[in-house]
Structure 1
Amino acid sequence: MHATCASTVYPAPVSELQVTPIAAFSRLVFVLLFACALAASQPARAASYLTKHCADLEGKTVPPSIIGLPTRGAVIGSASVVKAAAPGNRNGEYCRIVGAIKPIEDSTPDIRFEVNLPTRWNGRALQMGGGGYSGVVVSGTEPMSFAPDSTPLARGYATFGSDSGHVGNAGRADFAANDEAILNFGFGHLKKTHDVALALIQMGYGRDPEKTYFAGGSTGGREGFTVIERYPRDYDGVIANAPAINFAGVRLMGVAVGQASYGKPGGYVGLAQQRRVFDTVLHECDMLDNAADGIVSNVEACRKLEPQIIAAVRCANGQRPSLRDSCLSDAQIATLDTLRDGLNLPYMLAFGVDTYPGYNVYQGVDFSGVLGLGDSPTLVFPPAFSVNGYLFAQGDAYVKHFVTRDLSYNSIGFDIANPGRYGRRLMALSAAVGAMNSDLSQFIARGGKLIAMHGLADEVISPNQTIAFYRRLIARYGQDGVDSFMRLYMVPGFQHGNGVFIPSWDELGALDRWVTDGIAPETLVGTDIASATNGRSRPMCRYPAYPRYVGKGNVNNAANFRCVYPGP
């Protein structure tokens, strides 16, 4: 519970380690009371106060007693008004607040955050998630991934985000040497940033948001499921795209792919072979939705053609291809089969998880891109994204930094099936960084809403894991129960931010209408922002439906498609 205009009562400290500075606490209460008085009398004057006194927030502190997890409080490093006419600003006038949340241990990095309070506030707040291993402050000033024409801040949302509790970039895992930093990355930064942001929103406007949302993709998608599972009372709605919910699973999957590619003779699948598989799949499966559009939409029908696709790309007698040939040897097909089959572990990770479903290797995934399988048969140390593939490079970093904490460790030799002394750590890590808890009862009970989207051609996070988790929810709550709070959209042709179809659609608007007006989203429309096919549109179908061309009219117009269910 946070302070409101009706009651400036704060919760008790969450631990004896938290000592609220009296001066800071007094300043906070004063600002809250003053802002509340303004908001109660004249909303326009409250906005004017925000603009006039934004800079006064600089140097203020937020005491640890109002942050729901242990910290040493937060410090506002800077606060200033960004004018609507400022160069490069597309967000209208707003108060930009930047600060840091102090950890318990001196050796742990701060959680750096940014909060943006628009002068024309719509009464809503939006927390925005990160990507990869984060490490860079999510400013909240940029457009959402699939709505590039506007920003939530420009639409009146108070926005906020953080760096997840360490400095680096999305590909660096070296922060995992610190246990508190791991917990911050896994879940702690979400709650801590949320609570500080809401305190600042109260300081700015004198009241709580009417609705609070979360939106993110990949790591941000995992964070979306995380807040639903861990902090269900804090959010009215969540957007979770391409969610890395089984974080341990995808990292172990990357290790398995690296072992197949570089730990076995001839296992590396070259760029020519990667492209040949993709082209063969398109040849066999593109028209299964009745449209020759470069998109494999009917994935389930394509899956039935897998044997003939493999036969078409296999080299004669399964031998290694010549320099001029793009066929695949048996060893290379075995590597792709590893990707397709996923993991089946002989032990349990957190929440009873013992699998990681595989990828749609023979149903339209292009592994020849920057997040694919790499471009070299030579293994470098440490593995690099472009050279040895994104999945393996990230999996190797996970084993080195998170699991063994041994930078000289060779993950090619890591025994996934029998991790030995690392087994308990794998379990602990999967609980700390992961969102596989299917108990969403508290989020459902409060009326929370969830929109999830995933590309069926995703080469980084398996879309089949998202589908599997969705089915777990149905097994637990029934189809009607899941329909009451969740919508899942699986998008053909969309990869991990790239692909032959990249949808632009108003997810935030759809979520807000569902939460605020009770209008549940059904079939929506996505506009392609891929450079080669920019502007064409397709229905965004609720899973398990897919868009099928009706056989007449412009093939680039969503109106000429219907959402249909895969046949038996």
Structure 2
Amino acid sequence: MRTSGVRACALAATIAGTLLGPGAHTVFAAQKDAPLAMRCAEFAGAVLPPEVIALPTAGAQIESASMVGATAPGNQQGGEYCRITGRIKALKATTPDIRFDLNLPRRWNGRALQIGGGGYNGVVVSGTGVMPFSPDRAPLAQGYATFGDDSGHVGDSSLAVFGLVDEAVTNFGYAHLKKTHDAALALIARAYGRPPQRMYFGGGSTGGREGYTVIQRFPDDYDGVIANSPALNFSGVRLIGVKLGQAEYATPGGYVPPLLLEQVYQRTLSVCDRLDGAADGIVSDVSACREHESEIIESLRCAGRSPPNEQCLSESQLATLMVMRDGLSLPYKLAWDVAGYRGYNVFQGTHLTGSLGLGHQAERLAVPRFFANGYLFAQGDGYIRYFVARDAGFDSLRFDPQRPGKYRAQLTALSETIGAMNPDVARYIARGGKLITLQGLADEVISPNQTIAYHQALVDRYGVDQVNRFMRLYMVPGFQHGSGAFIPSVDLLGALDSWVTRGASPETLIATDIAAATNGRSRPLCRYPLFPRYTGKGNVNLASSFVCTEP
């Protein structure tokens, strides 16, 4: 990371001069071997000038800086570290600050990891815990300097009210990533006397979108990125959420209760579970399962009969599921020639009864909530109210994504500010950056087919060999959006670091299932488009009994 490393040293010297006054450059050089506790204490109350951060801000304020002892209550990181909290000031007083946390381990491995958020963010990412779906030790415990932020507003991940504030929307879309990166990088260089040798980013869902965002917008700042279940087409997933809500709540008979959704899932399993050679509760051969889709749908259709004990679906209920399966096509283009959103694997093993699935309540709440009215609709409703219409009282059930009228320009602008669909990643490839993406084939929030489509767009642009040199895509059967029939635990950060530092490109990985009912079994994580097929012999709970196979 030569370019950003040189800049970090310059920024560190700037901070030293700002905080310590005349002669600070000499003091900085002399203090680089001082105990971390001494260096940590000097940050408390410090002010970072605006020139430290490449994007426009009013500077940053360090609110606290203190050592956390290895035996301190709640410290499960296995070592002592300096914890810094701060705020990056917006240009306008009416825009919320970007709150951030930075953790500096006493035993530093020379690397830094920026960690992404989720949903609409709004909560500071502490950076002290284990990476989602990664085993055992947290990155901080491994010696990584870690940092994250709240993306520039306060609230839980379901709240979209900040969409009324232009600067907050820009921060959420991309600017918070660069602003926090620059502030943290300068503080790391100041604390240790040198910048990180390697800078990584890791996140999932919104954090996955953020991972693709930094590759597309700030390629010189990162050596490697983990971007799981990425909300790449952010406007698209919000618009299909609105269409889904309209099918459920604005169409007579369109609501599909959980009992019927369970019937859909069980019917899919009965037809498709064994297509990979193993009856393990996982639909692994999604391509083969799709060939049976018509058969599955017909077996679920009431076909004019009254539903006996809710064992079949009416035409209106099937139409709701088709909205999700078919995706969204738009007669106009969003940023980067995006014209819709890819559909989900509704009839290929996706379970829609969980807290992130479809609605559990037949009536729409005035303000839709995840469990009551479905995750996709609740998030899409907030997007339309606050980001698009910019009217808290707007009724998203009356919004037509295909014919947005006066809102079309706003939709297009938002898709560029927040979306991460730009296929131009030439700069990141040229400087040797690496990317790993893990995505569930049964994801009910982020369509796996949208992630596959972006990967294909890269292949079309750069060729498969070039894409393989910088990217690994692992599509995981049975994995949903944090839950599912198979929840993989795998050391992606270790794989990324080995690829970046030693050139050891990851191939088939081995994941351990952490789903409660099947905890401990293992499966190979196959590079897309391969999937794990049972060999016909050996323990079905062991990855060694499976082989990665072409669809």
Instruction: Using structure 1 for the length normalisation, give the TM-score.
Output: 0.94
Q: Deviations over 1:333-359 (max 9, x none)?
A: 011011000011000000110020000
Instruction: Tell me which residue corresponds to 1:42.
Output: none
Measure how far apart 1:34 and its partner are. 3.3
8 Å CA contact 2:16–2:25 kept in 1: the answer is: no
1:542: how far off? 0.1
Which of residues 325, 340, 344 in structure 1 aligns to 2:329?
344
Q: CA deviation at 1:61?
A: 1.3
Counterpart of 2:27 (choices 27, 34, 37) is 34
The whole-number CA distance in structure 2 between the counterparts of 1:130 and 1:29 is 39
Q: What is the Cα deviation at residue 36 of structure 1?
A: 3.5
- Residue pair 1:146, 1:504 contacting (<8 A) in 2 also: yes
Residue 106 of structure 1: which of 67, 90, 93 is its match? 93
| 1:250-265 matched pairs, under 5 angstroms | 250-265=237-252
Asked if 1:63 is matched to 2:56, the reply is no
Q: Is 1:492 aligned with 2:477?
A: yes
1:79: how far off? Answer: 0.1
Q: Secondary structure at 1:126's aligned position in 2?
A: strand
Q: Secondary structure at the match of 1:238?
A: strand
Question: Using the alignment, how far apart are the partners of 1:343 and 1:308 within structure 2?
Answer: 24
**Amino acid in structure 2 at the alignment position of 1:384:** R
Q: Does 1:73 align with 2:59?
A: yes
Q: Which amino acid aligns with 1:78?
A: S
> Does residue 479 of structure 1 match 2:457?
no
> What amino acid is aligned across from residue 464 of structure 1 in structure 2?
N
State the partner residue of 1:393.
378
4+ long deviations beyond 3 Å: 1-11, 28-39
Show the counterpart of 2:113: 126
State the alpha-carbon separation in 1 of the partners of residues 353 and 8 from structure 2.
58
Partner of 1:484, secondary structure, is: helix
Write the letter of the residue equivalent to 2:385. Answer: K
Q: Is the 8 A contact 2:327 2:341 kept in 1?
A: yes
User: After the TM superposition, which residues 323-342 of structure 1 pair with which residues of structure 2 at under 5 Å, given as runs?
Assistant: 324-342=309-327
Question: In terms of mean alpha carbon deviation, does 482-491 or 2-11 score higher?
Answer: 2-11
Q: Aligned partners of 1:328 and 1:9: how far apart in 2?
A: 62
The residue aligned with 1:373 is 358
Q: Which residue of 1 aligns with 2:442?
A: 457
- For 2:503 and 2:5, how far apart are their aligned partners in 1? 28
| Equivalent residues of 2:12, 2:190 under 8 A apart | no
Residue 541 (str. 1) matches residue 526 (str. 2) = yes
Task: Determine the structure 2 residue equivalent to 1:423.
Answer: 408
Pair 225,30 (structure 1): closer, same or farther in 2 beyond 3 Å: farther
Aligned residues: 548
1:55–1:79 CA contact under 8 A, matched in 2: yes
Aligned match for 1:192, one of 170, 179, 185: 179
Structure 1's 60 and 546: CA in aligned 2 closer, same or farther, altered over 3 A?
Answer: same
1:50 aligns with 2:36: yes
Secondary structure of 1:57's aligned partner: coil
Aligned CA RMSD, in angstroms, stands at 1.8
Q: Displacement of 1:517 after TM fit?
A: 0.2
Counterpart of 2:496 in structure 1 is: 511
Aligned partners of 2:110, 2:194: CA distance in 1, in Å?
A: 9
Contact 1:37–1:206 under 8 Å retained in 2:
no
1:89 is aligned, of 75, 80, 84, to: 75
452-461 vs 26-35, greater mean Cα deviation:
26-35
Native 8 Å contact 1:271 1:368 kept in 2 = yes
* Contact 2:12–2:189 (Cα < 8 Å) also in 1: no
Task: State whether residues 203 and 210 of structure 2, in contact with CA within 8 Å, keep that contact through their aligned partners in structure 1.
Answer: yes
Query: How many Å separate the matches in 1 of 2:358 and 2:209?
Result: 23
Q: Structure 2 CA distance, aligned partners of 1:181 and 1:350?
A: 20
Residue 29 to residue 128, structure 1, CA distance change in 2 (3 Å):
farther
Which of 216, 221, 236 aligns to 1:234? It is: 221
Other structure's SS at 2:63 match:
strand
Mapping of residues 80-229 of structure 1, within 5 Å: 80-91=66-77, 92-229=79-216
The structural deviation recorded for 1:408 is 1.4
Q: Distance in 2 between matches of 1:561 and 1:163?
A: 41
Residue 326 (structure 1) shift: 2.5
Cα–Cα, structure 1 residues 288 and 6, in superposed 2: closer, same or farther, change >3 Å? closer
User: Residue 8 of structure 1 aligns to a residue in which SS?
Assistant: helix
- Deviation of 1:33 after TM superposition, in Å, equals 4.7
Q: Deviations over 1:187-207 (max 9, x none)?
A: 010000000000100110010
Q: 1:275 to 1:5 in 2, by over 3 A?
A: closer
Structure 2 CA distance for partners of 1:9 and 1:496, relative to 1, 3 Å:
closer
Cα distance in 1, alignment partners of residues 442 and 24 from structure 2: 50
1:321 lines up with 2:307 in the alignment? yes
Secondary structure of the structure 2 residue equivalent to 1:500:
coil
d(CA) in 2 for partners of 1:28 and 1:552?
72
The AA in structure 2 aligned to 1:76 is I
Judge conservation of contact 1:2–1:199 (CA < 8 Å) in 2: no
Alignment correspondent of 2:347? 362
Q: Does 1:555 align with 2:546?
A: no
Cα-to-partner distance string for 1:273-323 (whole Å, 9 max, x where unaligned): 100000000000000110000000000000000011001111142x5525x
Give the Å deviation of 1:378.
1.1
Instruction: Output the CA distance in 2 between the equivalents of 1:375 and 1:26.
Output: 55
SS at match of 2:85: strand
Partner Cα separation in structure 2 for residue 264 and residue 177 of structure 1: 30
| Deviation readout 1:207-255 (Å, 9 max, x if unpaired) | 0100000000000000000000000000000000000000000000000
1:394-413 equivalence runs, <5 A? 394-413=379-398
What is the Cα deviation at residue 486 of structure 1?
0.2
Distance 1:73 1:6, change over 3 A: closer
Percent of pairs with identical residues: 59
> For 2:22 and 2:533, how far apart are their aligned partners in 1?
58
- Give the partner amino acid of 1:8: A
Q: Give 1:28 deviation, angstroms.
A: 7.8
Equivalent residue number for residue 8 of structure 1: 10
CA shift in 2, pair 1:6/1:89, >3 Å? closer
Equivalent-residue separation in structure 2 for 1:549 and 1:280 (angstroms):
21
Q: Structure 1 residue 448 and structure 2 residue 433: aligned? A: yes
